[in-house]
Structure 1
Amino acid sequence: MTATPPDGDDQVTITDLMTPDPEDDAFVVTSGSSRGLKIAGLIIGIVMVLSLVVTGGYVAWALNAPLPAATLEWQTPTVETPIAAQISVPSFGAAALSVSGADIYLGDGASGIWQTSGPQDPQVMASISKIITALVVLEKYPLADASDPGPTITFSKADHDLYDQYYVRGATIAAMPTGTRMSLHDALATMLIPSASNYAEAISRWAFGSISGFRAAARDWLQAHGLAGTTVVEPTGLDSENVSTPTDLVAIAKLAAANPTIAAIVGTPSLTIPGPGSLQNTNALLGVDGVTGMKTGNLGYGTYAFLFTAGMDIEGMHLDVTGAIQGGATRESVNADVLRMIDSIRRGFHDVPVALAGDHIGTVTAPWGGTTEVVVSRDVDIFTWSDTPISVEVTMADPTEFATGDVVGQIVWTAGPHTESADLIVTESIAPPTDWWRLTHPAELIGR
């Protein structure tokens, strides 16, 4: 069937009217709706998948990311300076003291005087002169070691007569029969242990031919060792012109202690030698409170002198103490002064309490909430000398987990050569952050 349009346009068949124009919008929408829905669904699916992937990755990251460090607030504690040691010095007479072996605390005691008291001018040294006599003789006739007997001395009738001469003067003497043959070592022992004056002169005459010869040798020896405050006019010390200063005597004692023969002899409490017989050391303090030597002397009240050496072991340190006292009132008072001096040195080394377990150092605050106290883990004492300053150093870690007793740092105290340390611990646990906190605080996790 064919229709004719009234306006005279081309004819249109019924078939044409029933076949849509592919260029018509209605055609596109109507005929393409199924395929469009498929594309839109695909896009939405992709977005949803990506969202799930991204969201799931963040969750996994947030729940497993390392935690940020906590905030630690702390102060380095201070330690009060300990009380200074009070070294006991004689109230009567004069003294000098040297201590070596604890140089980091006390200075170089091996080469210097550590402390003095009283007048330091030359004073009577009495029988301490015999130490100088031994040093001068051994410089001319050195012995290899403490067991070396050295040359043999034969004592003459003139030597034997010295016994009576010194007996009349009230001096200490020892038997010396005419014709007695004795090693230099044993002769020196007889001179030093009981302080026999007749042996001091006999040895000097043997070594230098005369007292004047000895005097010249002693003068040269003193000058060579820079002992300007010391004068020796004879070998026994009975002459009051034999004088020295406390500081010179300390130097002399160190020279004697360095000589193995003299050191061994003055450290011998008693000895029996054929001829002089049984000899007892005049040093009543030998072996008491670490005293190892050296020589006593006196010319009566107010002239008592003591040249001493002592050793003490303190906290792994060996100290050598060398001291001299002159012008003491009595032998008993001088002995007491020496023991008080040694004891005051020993008591000057002490343990100083620097911390108690539980002492507060600071606090820890976790970014996700919660705080705990930082304390010292144990009681701490540090060994030191006198008022040596004590320094303190604190080192803190960057912990992220906190259980009671966890170590978060260390504290170290230093005094001289000694150090002590203790852990710093937290007193309470801080619970870990919740998953929600992790998920809602990415900035903290990223900027940890």
Structure 2
Amino acid sequence: MPLSRRQIYRRRRTVFFGGFLVVLGVVIYGVSTGVATLPAAAASLTEPAPLTQPAAAPAWPGFGSGAIGAVGFDGVLAASGGTGPVPIASITKTVTALVILEAKPLAAGEAGPTVRFTDADVDIYYDTIAENGSSAPVVAGMELTEREALEAMLLPSANNYAESLAIWAYGSVDSYLAAASTWIAAHGLTGTTIVDTSGLSPDSVSTPADLVEIGKLVRAAPALAEIVSMKTAVLPTIGTVSNTNKLLGDFGVDGIKTGTTDEAGACLLFSADVTVGNKTVTLVGVMLGGETHPELNQAVSALIESAKAGFHEVELTTAGTSIGSYSTAWGQSAHAVTATDASALVWSDTPITTRAQAQPMRVGSTGAEVGTLDFVVGTRTITVPLVLRGALTDPGAGWRFSHPGELF
């Protein structure tokens, strides 16, 4: 039986709407797959193996005690002999100078305010001579700049200038000693006790570890670092004064302070700039309890050379080193590589470990930062960015249309 007009209309409408729904479904599916978030590819990482270096072998003498450190390195790197407080003789004057600068700051190259000397300073001078302490001349009415007065104190190790400058800065020796005690506590120098300005008293004591820190503080004070590196100075009225540190200029030595008393023996707090690879290392060390200064200087020279050999400039990585790779669900691949070279100055057998992390990636262009590679060198961390080598691009509509399982 022929279909009625109504039946034909209904059939056509069914076919039309069925086709429309199919087309609509295809469009919706295509749009949905086209805008769906791509699956992220996790990085497969291969961290560099830990790096090891030979242990240092510092050359220590068979006498006294000592310690050595370096600017930029925490604490003491190596030590020998006793670790407790001992008399430090005129090394005490480094504390005197540092505490004076707390009250009377002095910048690099600056002369500073005028110090006027009186009859009281002349009395201090004669008292110093009576004590058989090291001294430099002073005349009532004489004027020196702060820098010149510090040169008179530190180069020839003049006890009378240590006392006169402390009184000039703080009003009295007692006030100075109170300030010194506060300063010592503020810097965590728990093994250090200062009872005079010059170190003539055997009760002015410190530990090798504390003295290394005091030496670093002197090197960090530009004016003092300049002064302790001087072999001689020409001062008004006084004339030429010579530094008691006879190692200056040898083995990279550029400071800091000698000391000698019966109780302390021959002592030297020293700093030395040495070259390791293409870097300069500032060593700061102390040796206490020598019989004579020539013997002590020979021992310090050997220590400096052996300590220099204990540093290593280590190549950590070079730019472009592959640390990981990405493989996408649509068949593309790329590498996570180091963005820069990196090296580290390492003391002795300080362990070097690595820690890599990289974020999951969907798409990214060559050079995009994707993570970091950390080198842990003792207590320091050196971070190198990781970047993409090779682009990760959208796979396109065809793959999206045919891989709904990966998209939804």
Indicate the TM-score class for this superposition, using the shorter chain for normalisation: 0.5 to 0.7
Distance between the aligned counterparts of 1:132 and 1:266, measured in 2? 13
Q: Taking CA–CA contacts closer than 8 Å with sequence separation of 6 or more, which of the two structures ends up with the larger relative contact order? A: 2
Q: CA deviation at 1:302?
A: 5.7
Percent of aligned pairs with the same residue?
A: 42
- Which residue does the alignment assign to 1:127? 90
Distance between the aligned counterparts of 1:351 and 1:322, measured in 2? 19
- Which residue does the alignment assign to 1:55? none
Q: CA deviation at 1:151?
A: 1.4
Find out whether 1:196 has 2:158 as its counterpart.
yes
Distance between the aligned counterparts of 1:302 and 1:251, measured in 2? 19
Q: CA deviation at 1:276?
A: 1.4
Q: CA deviation at 1:388?
A: 7.8
Q: 103, 110, 113: which is aligned to 2:76?
A: 113
Q: CA deviation at 1:301?
A: 6.9
* DSSP-derived class of the 1:298 partner: strand
- Which residue does the alignment assign to 1:87? 58
Change (3 A) 1:217 1:85: closer
1:68-114 Cα distance to aligned partner (Å, 9 max, x none): xxxxxxxxxxxxx876442112321111111346xxxxxxx2x2211
Which amino acid in 1 is paired with 2:61? P
User: Please, what TM-score do these two structures have when normalized by structure 2?
Assistant: 0.63
- Which residue does the alignment assign to 1:60? none
- Which residue does the alignment assign to 2:113? 151
Q: 57, 69, 79: which is aligned to 1:98?
A: 69
Change (3 A) 1:123 1:348: same
- Aligned residue pairs, count: 277
1:363-396 Cα distance to aligned partner (Å, 9 max, x none): xxxxxxxxxxxxxxxxxxxx997668999xxxxx
- Which residue does the alignment assign to 2:394? none
Change (3 A) 1:97 1:277: same
User: Please, what TM-score do these two structures have when normalized by structure 1?
Assistant: 0.58
Distance between the aligned counterparts of 2:347 and 2:75, measured in 1? 19
* DSSP-derived class of the 1:131 partner: helix
Which amino acid in 2 is paired with 1:139? E
Unmatched tracts of structure 2, length 5 or more? 1-51, 315-344, 354-376, 383-408
Is the 1:214–1:234 contact (alpha carbons within 8 Å) kept by the matching residues of 2? no
Greater Cα shift, 341-350 or 280-289: 341-350
* DSSP-derived class of the 2:261 partner: coil
Unmatched tracts of structure 1, length 5 or more? 1-80, 102-108, 353-382, 392-415, 418-448
Find out whether 1:335 has 2:335 as its counterpart.
no
Q: CA deviation at 1:186?
A: 0.7
Give the structure with higher Rg (CA).
1
Is the 2:266–2:291 contact (alpha carbons within 8 Å) kept by the matching residues of 1? yes
Find out whether 1:258 has 2:220 as its counterpart.
yes
Matching of residues 167-316 of structure 1 within 5 Å: 167-300=129-262, 303-316=265-278
Which amino acid in 1 is paired with 2:137? A
Change (3 A) 1:174 1:183: same
Distance between the aligned counterparts of 1:125 and 1:99, measured in 2? 20
Q: CA deviation at 1:170?
A: 1.6
Is the 2:90–2:259 contact (alpha carbons within 8 Å) kept by the matching residues of 1? yes
TM-align CA RMSD? 2.7
1:337-360 Cα distance to aligned partner (Å, 9 max, x none): 1101111123345899xxxxxxxx
